[in-house]
Amino acid sequence: MFRVSSVDLEVTAELENLSNSRAGALVTFEGWVRNHHEGRDVLHLEYQAYEALCLSEAEILRAEVLSKHDIIDLACVHRVGHCPIGTKAVWVGVTAEHRGAAFDACEHYMDALKVRFPIWKKESYVDGDSEWVRCEACAEHEHTHGHH
Amino acid sequence: MKLRIQYFANLRDKSGKEEEVLETPTSCPLELYRELQKSYGFELNADQLGVAINDRFANWEQSFEENDLVTFIPPVGGG
């Protein structure tokens, strides 16, 4: 289950849906909007998402993560719109019988979300500049690739 | 051919539009993007983008059909 939210992240419904008497672990990850990036002072972020394509990509990713890790279920909510410093940008919750698989699945999901979901992040800086920031893994890959 | 085109991120900033309907002689995303790049001065080249048609990832040579929704996908950065 995946959705985007244009208001502060509220995950009560996700937690209720994840609730399962077989689960011995719930691992959650929250991505927060921080006040700096690569040495620059960040004022706030803006996210845009291509929602329809995110939903179909999220279904594909959920199936991949469920088949690879011994988990029960997972859910994710991603913010869109204007995000002040300190607010939640993304939330992922994973339930499993045991915590190891839930931690691994949570990391797998977040790593893939960053490179695959059509979501864009614009950083506005204290100095008045702003920039659409690509995911670090994608930039790193291109950098490495370019030198081979 | 009439197409609906959706813009995100850098492309939305540069075009000043979230979406538009265009009558175009182009027949595939690659041709269309080159047209739009000329009109709006997009700095990103096609090889830096992905493309989706009707909410599905597509390839750059896929033929359009009337009223397709075409979306160019700049480098992503969620999370």
What is the value of ipTM here, to two decimals? 0.95
Q: Has residue A68 got a pLDDT over 50?
A: yes
**Which residues lie closer than 8 Å to B38 by C-beta, 6 or more apart?**
none
Q: Which domains does chain A have, with CATH numbers?
A: 2-146 (3.90.1170.40)
CATH number of B2-73: 3.10.20.30
Q: Do the Cβ atoms of A118 and B75 come within 8 Å?
A: no
Are the beta carbons of B1 and B27 closer than 8 angstroms? yes
**Which candidate from B6, B56, B77 shows the least CB-CB separation from A121?**
B77
Interface test with B, best of A42, A45, A48 (most B CBs within 10 A): A48
**Given pLDDT bands bounded at 50, 70 and 90, which one contains residue A135?**
confident
Exposure on the CB side of residue A116, measured as CA atoms within 13 A: 18
pLDDT of residue B34: 97
- Classify residue A4 by burial, with Cβ atoms within 10 Å: 0-12, 13-18, 19+: buried
pTM score of the predicted model: 0.94
Give B3-44 pLDDT, tens digit per residue.
999 999 999 999 999 999 999 999 999 999 999 999 999 999
- Classify residue B22 by burial, with Cβ atoms within 10 Å: 0-12, 13-18, 19+: middle
Give B55-77 pLDDT, tens digit per residue.
999 999 999 999 999 999 999 99
Are the beta carbons of A31 and B79 closer than 8 angstroms? yes
